[in-house]
Amino acid sequence: MSLNCLRLVCHSIKKPPVFHLSYSPSSYSSSPAVLVSMSYSKELAAAKKAASLAARLCQKVQKALLQSDVQSKNDKSPVTVADYGSQALVSSVLQQEIPADFSLVAEEDSKDLRKDGGQEIVERITKLVNDSITSDGSYNVTLSTEDVIKAIDSGRSEGGSQGRHWVLDPIDGTKGFLRGDQYAIALALLDGGKVVLGVLACPNLPLTSISAPDQHSPNNEVGCLFFAEVGGGTYMQPLDGSSAVKVQVTAVENPEEASFFESYEAAHSMHDLSSLIAQKLGVKAPPVRIDSQAKYGALSRGDGAIYLRFPHKGYREKIWDHAAGCIVVTEAGGVVTDAAGKPLDFSRGNYLDVDTGIIVTNQKLMPFLFNAVRESIKEKAASL
């Protein structure tokens, strides 16, 4: 059955449109600036729907994985199936909801699935996608294995500074996924090279602050959906669909009271450098190490004040690892830059060209953080 047979039953949220000033050469001299309405509410509703369904798919696979025996835990195929399944599902939902000029930059492609032995995995992925896409009654569809492969491969766009491009990490933090820890489905939309909306589905993130473990929600509930549209703020709602609340980054101004996030995996970020930075700032709390863009989500609601990411030499950051997280934090009042203080540039294709690393905090703390980062990088280089 073709993707066009998908049947929509979901509702888009009503939000006031965001207005951007658009200057024409004549407006520069005499006429007033032209106001152009740029609401992305339809796209945001589609993105939330797609990410929530993908989260359900991943939860199902992770649950089975964690219940399995040691031998099958060492088998990496569950993450493979969930990764491709999440990408196929998100791609199918977006193409159905927003078919015009569809372009998707995503982490996976079907090359490996076409190799010997791939057919069985494709069949497992297809079953999972079909079960998940129909799970809440929004769609009535049966995708074929070819539909699924096509949906995965529609993520081969190069992105860039022209037009609109969806940006997807179908499972960000696969190591966390395998450990039973944090991971995220991260989806953003670029328009003219800028991130205009972002959605982070974090199935294992507690609904209440992870910095105050004694203040659990009534049943220690987990599963958060963060979403942001340019000019519209950041919201968080439970993945089960109950109502959304507006979130803000922390108002902490004193670096000594700040706490910071970093990667769980030492291979993804230099823990010794962040420790030096924290020492210079006088940060007392130990680092909070969690996987994936759940760090951006947690920071957007004030669970911690700072996120430090310093990949080892030679690693190039990909846009899908930061696009959704970046807008979720900036719309909540935070600042995201590279170590030289430059905003991240998502307009240059699949890669981000960042200087040394990525730093995230609130407006008040950024000058202190920036100085500590500069000094620490210099010191580290001198000691080598």
Q: Which of 159, 170, 173, 304 binds ligand AMP (CB under 6 A)?
A: 173
Closest CA to 293 of 231, 204, 222: 204
Q: Which of 17, 311, 333, 349 binds ligand AMP (CB under 6 A)?
A: 311
Q: Residue 109 or 136: which CB sits closer to Mg ion?
A: 109
CA dihedral 263, 207, 224, 169 (to 10 degrees): 10
Q: Which of 95, 126, 263, 274 binds ligand AMP (CB under 6 A)?
A: 263
Tell me: does residue 172 bind ligand AMP (CB under 6 A): yes
Structure tokens at 115: 């190799």
Stretch that binds ligand AMP, among 81-89, 246-254, 260-268, 348-356 (CB under 6 A): 260-268
Of the residues 83, 169, 172, 338, only one is catalytic, namely 83
C-beta separation of 343 from 337 below 8 A: yes
Taking CB under 6 A as the criterion, which residues in 316-335 touch ligand AMP? 318, 321
Length of the chain: 384
Q: Residue 126 or 361: which CB sits closer to ligand AMP?
A: 361
Tell me: does residue 292 bind ligand AMP (CB under 6 A): yes
Tell me: does residue 338 bind ligand AMP (CB under 6 A): no
Tell me: does residue 97 bind Mg ion (CB under 5 A): no
Stretch that binds Mg ion, among 90-98, 149-157, 227-235, 315-323 (CB under 5 A): 315-323
Question: What is each CA distance from 180 to 121, 126, 264, in whole angstroms?
Answer: 22, 23, 13
Minimum separation from the CB atom of position 288 to ligand AMP (A) = 12
- Please list the helix, strand and coil fractions of the chain in percent, rounded to the nearest 5, in that order: 40, 20, 40
Give the count of residues interacting with ligand AMP (CB under 6 A).
13
Q: Is 174 a catalytic residue?
A: yes
Minimum separation from the CB atom of position 253 to Mg ion (A) = 32
| Secondary element (H or E) of residue 294 | helix 294-300
Partner that binds at residue 315, options ligand AMP, Mg ion, none, CB closer than 5 to 8 Å by kind:
ligand AMP
Closest CA to 187 of 44, 364, 27, 376: 44
Closest CA to 42 of 65, 3, 83, 11: 11
Pairing type for strands 260-262 and 306-309 reads: parallel
Minimum separation from the CB atom of position 291 to ligand AMP (A) = 4
Question: What is each CA distance from 59 to 79, 131, 193, 203, 301, in whole angstroms?
Answer: 11, 13, 32, 7, 23
Taking CB under 6 A as the criterion, which residues in 152-171 touch ligand AMP? 169
Bridge partners, residue 234, by sequence: 228, 247
Q: Which residues contact 261 (CB under 8 A, 6 or more apart)?
A: 287, 288, 289, 290, 295, 298, 299, 304, 306, 307, 308
Tell me: does residue 210 bind ligand AMP (CB under 6 A): no
Q: Which residues contact 142 (CB under 8 A, 6 or more apart)?
A: 1, 130
Tell me: does residue 351 bind ligand AMP (CB under 6 A): no
Tell me: does residue 95 bind ligand AMP (CB under 6 A): no
Q: What is the rounded CA–CA span in Å between residue 159 and residue 164?
A: 8
C-beta separation of 287 from 260 below 8 A: yes
Stretch that binds ligand AMP, among 97-105, 128-136, 261-269, 348-356 (CB under 6 A): 261-269
Minimum separation from the CB atom of position 168 to Mg ion (A) = 10
Closest CA to 249 of 338, 325, 342, 363: 363
Partner that binds at residue 311, options ligand AMP, Mg ion, none, CB closer than 5 to 8 Å by kind:
ligand AMP
Tell me: does residue 169 bind Mg ion (CB under 5 A): yes
Q: Which positions from 320 to 349 touch Mg ion by CB under 5 A, shown as an x/- string? A: -x----------------------------
Q: Is 83 a catalytic residue?
A: yes
Stretch that binds ligand AMP, among 11-19, 242-250, 313-321, 346-354 (CB under 6 A): 313-321
Bridge partners, residue 169, by sequence: 186
Just list the catalytic residues. 83, 174
Judged by the rule CB under 6 A, the positions of this chain that interact with ligand AMP are: 169, 172-173, 263, 265, 267-268, 291-292, 311, 315, 318, 321
